[in-house]
Structure 1
Amino acid sequence: MFEPIVHASSPITLLGGSDTDNSQLNICLKVAPSVVAADGGADHALRHDLRPVAVIGDMDSLSNKARTAFADALHHVAEQDSTDFEKCLTRIKAPLIMAAGFLGGRLDHTLAVLGTLARLRAHHVILVSPDDVCVLLPQGHSMWQLSPGLRAGVLPLGHATVSSNGLVWDLADSKLAPDGLVSSSNAVKQAQVSFDVAGPVLLTLPLSASKSLIAGVLAQVSSSAH
């Protein structure tokens, strides 16, 4: 367990090094105006005229310009056994993290990000990409308010067992695995969708469903806190 660098009672936007456009940023900043940058994500913050409360990482991809601009916010974590994404997640305490700039770039980086979510069981992190929003489903039972017709992916990040109610192709105690059964081209059938999950499973939805996904995660976080 690491001592938090950022301790917030409200949601945080976390910026990574992959390109992030205004639509993704607006989705994140609307719910989480406080920004943390993961290493080179500080350069995206600089380009978008954002001032992070912290820049966390090993600083191997940070430009001199961003290093100078945010000198008072740098938190150098030298160890090389984890990614900058993991360094941030283990040092940010917040009810929700909106993470942009971590998908859509290099494949090895994307796989490392998803592996980190699974390993840390980071159910409070929403990943935002140019096309999708996604979150690790909480263990056990969860309910989600979603619009019928939305495409939905139920993607195992390890061996998992999943049941669902409310999808076009529901799962019934199904054994999922990255090298086995996945549900990558599913869709929402009814407004209330439930999942019963054991194991690491990612729910992916189109970017247009961001408000619903954010509301769902905040509801899960609130219920688990009581």
Structure 2
Amino acid sequence: MTLVGAGAVADGDLAAALALAPTCVAADSGAETVLAAGVPLEAVIGDMDSISEAARAQIPPERQHRIAEQDSTDFDKALRHILAPLVIAVGFSGRRIDHQLAALHTLVMRPDLPCVMLGAEDIIFLCPRDLHLPMSPGTRVSLFPMGAVTGRSEGLEWPISGLDFAPDGRSGTSNRATGDLTLQIDAPAMLCILPRRFMAEVAEILQAIPVPARWPARAAPHRAPPGS
């Protein structure tokens, strides 16, 4: 499923995501980007505080799912009401830094739902327990901890085995691959940032992970969308 937010969506981003995940859902005013592109919209989810009335008028009422609470972002509201093998998130980076940080926080808070966030130059996703990815030497691999986490690696110029990572401690920015990459991570707290050309490969890997091998739900489980 492609999930579209209100952040920057560059030319080609939406088409690239839909090629992998053809069902399209919007988070609040992300619907305006989808409508402007002429893409069929399965649903819009959020508190509806930023979508215009003109846009709402183009969306059937049964496809509008308003969640009024203000304790979470529209990205989080959408993810917790989506049941899909994979989400490609577009439009959740590139404009406001606070919104982008909140999106990264949501990736960690919803570890049971594989999600790849598409940026201008990168993809960002929560590392699964085990990841093996064919890679050319010299490829940039950044690992950023969103909590205390350790792991082991093969195929990195600076191996992570035996290192402790934390937001207020060590991070793994701008490491480099020496060949095919293997990561084993011990907690659902490590974000992996790769060049966006890896989007299709990473999406295939994440959605192929059997449910029992995925990280368990950390926050509220998936629920059916509320009534409009």
TM bucket, shorter chain: 0.7 to 0.9
How far off is 1:194 after superposition? 2.8
Whole-angstrom CA distance in 1 between matches of 2:55 and 2:8: 16
Whole-angstrom CA distance in 2 between matches of 1:222 and 1:160: 22
Structure 2 unmatched ranges of 5 or more: 215-228
1:127 is matched with which residue?
117
Cα gap change, 1:123 to 1:152, in 2 (>3 Å)? farther
Note if 1:95 corresponds to 2:85: yes
Larger RCO: 1 or 2 (CA < 8 Å, sep 6+): 2
The superposition leaves residues 117-137 of structure 1 with CA deviations (integer Å, 9 ceiling, x where unpaired) of 112224500000111111101
Whole-angstrom CA distance in 1 between matches of 2:208 and 2:64: 32
Task: Find the residue that maps to 1:130 and give its secondary structure.
Answer: coil
Q: Pick from 192, 197, 201: which aligns with 1:203?
A: 192
Whole-angstrom CA distance in 2 between matches of 1:93 and 1:75: 15
Aligned length: 213
Whole-angstrom CA distance in 2 between matches of 1:154 and 1:107: 19
Q: Pick from 47, 59, 72: which aligns with 1:82?
A: 72
Task: Find the residue that maps to 2:194 and give its secondary structure.
Answer: strand
Note if 1:60 corresponds to 2:52: no
**2:50 partner letter:** S
The superposition leaves residues 8-30 of structure 1 with CA deviations (integer Å, 9 ceiling, x where unpaired) of xxxx0000001212322122111
Q: After TM superposition, what 4+ stretches of structure 1 lie above 6 angstroms from structure 2? A: none
Whole-angstrom CA distance in 2 between matches of 1:75 and 1:104: 26
How far off is 1:199 after superposition? 4.1
How far off is 1:48 after superposition? 0.9
Q: Pick from 161, 170, 173: which aligns with 2:162?
A: 173
**1:113 partner letter:** A
Q: Pick from 140, 157, 161: which aligns with 2:150?
A: 161
Question: Is 2:151–2:161's contact at 8 Å kept on the other side of the alignment?
Answer: yes
After TM superposition, the structure 1 = structure 2 runs for residues 29-40 of structure 1, keeping only pairs within 5 Å, are: 29-40=18-29
1:138 is matched with which residue?
128
Whole-angstrom CA distance in 2 between matches of 1:128 and 1:199: 20
How far off is 1:47 after superposition? 1.3
Query: Alpha carbon RMSD of aligned pairs, Å?
Result: 1.7
Deviates more, 1:204-213 or 1:124-133: 204-213
Name the one with the larger strand percent. 1
Q: Pick from 89, 94, 102: which aligns with 1:112?
A: 102
Structure 1 unmatched ranges of 5 or more: 1-11
1:6 is matched with which residue?
none
Question: Is 2:127–2:188's contact at 8 Å kept on the other side of the alignment?
Answer: no
1:50 is matched with which residue?
39
**1:88 partner letter:** A
1:182 is matched with which residue?
171
